[in-house]
Amino acid sequence: MDQINQKPNIRSLATAKLRRSAEKRLRVKLSKRGHERTEAETHRLVHELEVHQIELEMQNEELQSARDKLETALDQYSELYDFAPVGYFSLDDQGRILKVNLKGAALLGVPRPRLINRLFMSFVLPSSRPFFVTFLERVLGAMGGQVCEAELLKDKATSFWASFHGASSISGKGNKKSCRVVVSDITSLKQAQEAQRRMEALAAANAELRQEIIQRQATERCLEESKQEQIQLLQHSQELHDELRLLSRQVISAQEEERKRISRELHDVIAQTLTSISLRLAALKTEAARDPKSLEQSIGRTQEEVVRSVNIVHRFARELRPAVLDDLGLVPALHEFLKQFGAETGVRVKLSAFSEVERVSEDRRTVLYRVANEAIANIRRHARASHVEVEIQKLDGSLRMTIKDDGKGFQQQGPFRARKDKRLGLLGMRERLEMLGGEFRIVSMPGKGTTVVAQIPLNDRSSRRRAPLSPSLIHGYE
């Protein structure tokens, strides 16, 4: 009520001020005209009329100035409101459009007059309506400034993404709730975000593809290496197969040669000796009747022939398998064999072994004896040595025999491969050792002698896993 009473007082003061200004302007006019003062009664009516005229003129001037200011403000409002780069919408509590600027109408593709009182929801795509309803409820609930993104329909044909910034307001009539919403087109931003998302997805896919390529390349390398290993294993298997076939043929050939030799020895030595004994026994009958004194000498010579024949038979037996190996063991058999070798060749021989060697199995002792027998045979045929050392050692879980000579040696040029006419003995040694899971090596240099190493496990369990050979050290005598 105080504010209502103050308005007439302010208006009266303004009217009084306007009258005083009008009277002052009238006095100025009268002074310019040079009229004499008349009676108050005579000029009162004219004075009042002129004052009212001046008041009207002044009011007209004020109204003109107010109109100019209003037009200027209206132009500024139109520039700010209608030509803003974003759309302005005023919505009531039902979501109807109360006001809209030109940009808002352009965003929806509908003339501004046709938008008034239309539901804004009709322009929201169904997929975005739940988000827009929540946004409108929060804005009308006076929850402060709210932000939302929704997809809108334009011209009933195309759609675009829009960003909403809203705030609530109270209208002057009936204090009804309404809201003001700023709408901007963010389609380009969404497209950029989608492009960025696709770029990130593409980058992730490229990274996975590169990783897959790396894995495939590694797999291909592994496959290639496996293929090369298989090729090498196949070649090695073929070589071993050829070697085995050659060994089998050479074993048969060697057996036949050995049979020929034994047959020839039996025919040339034993048969002749026995024939000589038979002839001497026949001659004994004649000599006994004719010269009893020479009978004793003939019997002595016949006994010598029998002894020589028995020795030859014993030598054949030892070469096939010495009885002392079965009766007394490995060390006595090697001692007797090396003693005979030294006596026949003049080579100094040294044998050293640990006492528990006789506790190993019979097949292991036989293999060691055959390896030593063949190694000494090679020394006899090729080495031209003056000294030979045979040593048997016990290692961790294995048994090692080393045969070393100071002979001429030979040049090691490549892995051991049997040939058609040579190295059968070395092949036999290697095969015997490998049957027990052992290892066979030969180390030699020209003028530095040769060392033969034969190593076998002490028990059958360790023999199941064959010791890896060292191909660069497996060679034979030339």
The pair phi, psi for residue 465, each rounded to 5°, is: -100, 105
Q: Given this model, what pLDDT does residue 391 score?
A: 94
The answer to whether 138 touches 146, Cβ cutoff 8 Å, is: yes
Confidence at residue 4, expressed as pLDDT on a 0 to 100 scale: 37
Does the pLDDT value for residue 470 go beyond 70? no
In whole angstroms, what is the distance from residue 454 CA to residue 406 CA? Answer: 18
- Give residue 130's pLDDT: 92
Mean pLDDT of 175-202: 88
User: What average pLDDT is seen over the chain?
Assistant: 78
Task: Return the residue matching tokens 């050792």.
Answer: 433
Q: With bands split at pLDDT 50, 70 and 90, how would you rate the model's confidence at 156?
A: confident
pLDDT in tens, 298-325: 676 777 777 777 677 666 666 666 777 7
Counting residues of the chain whose pLDDT is more than 70, the rounded percentage is 71
Greater pLDDT, 182 or 413:
182
User: Which residue from 402, 407, 358 is spatially nearest to 378, judged by alpha carbons?
Assistant: 407
DSSP 286-343: HHHHH-GGGHHHHHHHHHHHHHHHHHHHHHHHHHH--HHHHHT-HHHHHHHHHHHHHH
C-alpha distance from residue 297 to each of 47, 183, 307 (Å): 206, 147, 15
Confidence of residue 24 (pLDDT cuts 50, 70, 90): confident
Tokens of 318: 């030892």
> How large is the average pLDDT for residues 448-455?
92
User: Shortest CA distance to 400 belongs to which of 353, 442, 349?
Assistant: 353
3-state DSSP assignment of residue 152: strand
- What pLDDT sits at residue 307? 73
- pLDDT at position 291 is 63
**Continuous segment of H or E residues that includes residue 252:** helix 187-265
Q: Average pLDDT of 207-214?
A: 92
79, HSE (Cβ side, Cα atoms, 13 Å): 6
**Residue 248's CB: how many other CB atoms inside 10 A?**
10
Question: Where in the chain are the domains?
Answer: 2-81, 87-185, 325-473
Choose between 32 and 119: higher pLDDT.
Answer: 119
Question: Higher-confidence residue: 198 or 20?
Answer: 198
- The pLDDT tens digits of the residues spanning 84-102 come to 888 889 898 888 999 998 8
Tell me the whole-structure pTM to 2 decimals. Answer: 0.42
Class of domain 87-185 as given by CATH = alpha beta
Architecture of domain 325-473: 2-Layer Sandwich (3.30)
